[in-house]
Structure 1
């Protein structure tokens, strides 16, 4: 039996036990009121001391019918009463109530998520992606079919659910229709292909990045609907070669990509038609001197990329500015490109 099934079973046992005791107390109270003509309080008192077997004296002497009813209540009710106490103790001592509370909390938080990213798989890659998102305060949630990985993610403070990310129902529960993007980081390429296919079918506009271990899987993932496929061994090979060939450059890039150092980020911004930047040259807007922002690339609306835009190049609507800067400065550039007033 899975952990989720065990939790559901425990909650059902707990609920059934509480209901059984409530019905037992109500039945006993009504019985004493009807058979012995007791007041509601006296009848409740008699029921409680009978099923709890505490040995207190009766409210008043019982007739034969009352004695038979009391014996029946003892035989039938005492077992239910103590069985319920045992179930309640097990429920709280075992921590099942905590897991149930966390599950409810997860579901409430999921309903509030919007423009978030979904990480499918919380292995070594997925956990590193989650850490990057956490550092950059990007909303995300995790899906994994291993309960140990789900609990590990929750222990780290992440929103996580257990399930197969290739299942439409699980992705819908994860708020796919409200999500901004998805990372397919499952343990094998076949799983990632199915995850990408399902996600793309549910939301054609979703931005999807997938991991792959072998060359053959890259084309399959792209055909399935991934916009970008990360080949782990290829990326690691290039990185190792660069560390040997140009160690100083690699150290600089590490510093640049680490949000804990220098507070620098690299980001891209699409220029809205209402932006004050439209129609001006990079020399005119002088983003470096005015806003401490380094422009490292500019993509024309047609898709052509200029890695080093000329000072005289004109910024067009729907063009994309790629820049490096600190968080607050990049936020200012975002307002400029969207044509919003500075906040």
Structure 2
């Protein structure tokens, strides 16, 4: 406790310390000059009298007798009391603020320790906000580093979101957090030099970390790659959402399957049951590499029920989808995001019992080869 107290006192704002010293010196000079000329004391006694009066000790060995002497002694004593109160208030206020910061910091670290896994996001600017929304929308745990405290005021910390008001380039905390429990580090600041420095800082102590970095200039791609970034994304070209998709690439599953429209809801129930998110569906035309893509972006079972009920009430819409399925010979791919590879294995095992799985993470060419066989 003693060490913490000393450390806190050392962190007093310089401007307050300087002001306090100036006031003490000014009052002390006032006391010496007044004691010398008004009280009629010599220099040594003037210094002594100024100290005991400012400190409100007043031993009584020098007693003011005239009116001017009493006024001088009163102002010196009051000035000493006011100055002591000012300095004491600065120390107490700063001490309390620092204690709150330490307490808040301890609570944040405790919240991080309780997270099973998390994403680290550096920068909450125009692009960072989009990434943050994508992560929280999918119920992911997020640790957000942002040096601008005003930007963090709109975010409330919770069990799944921890904000850290620090410059990631000036603190080694980010390296400590980018360990085993970190799924991915997403660096979205608008300065390529800052991004490069953060990549170097993390990669130095975390060789296995998955790092996705924003790049504002194309010529910095190679520098970021050499520094250790696994993926480099230019939001100016492809948008902030792709930062999220690239960061989750180790946890994105492309599942190529074959089943009918009537089996859609049962399939969706299994995907939702395992806490996975159906990002989109790709319909593969026979022999053609580029699929028809329909964006889904949902993990809520209510959405699946609503779609099922909609098809039952609108037979023409159901017939249109059935025609699409006939064109692609019921062959299509699901792009699924999930928490980890273990969950994907369980998901695949259960889906295999209900439908035909043609392949996992197949390339466009591999899928095209499969659909060519359907033509024959």
Q: What TM-score, normalized by structure 2, do the two folds share?
A: 0.45
Higher RCO (C-alpha under 8 Å, 6+ residues apart): 2
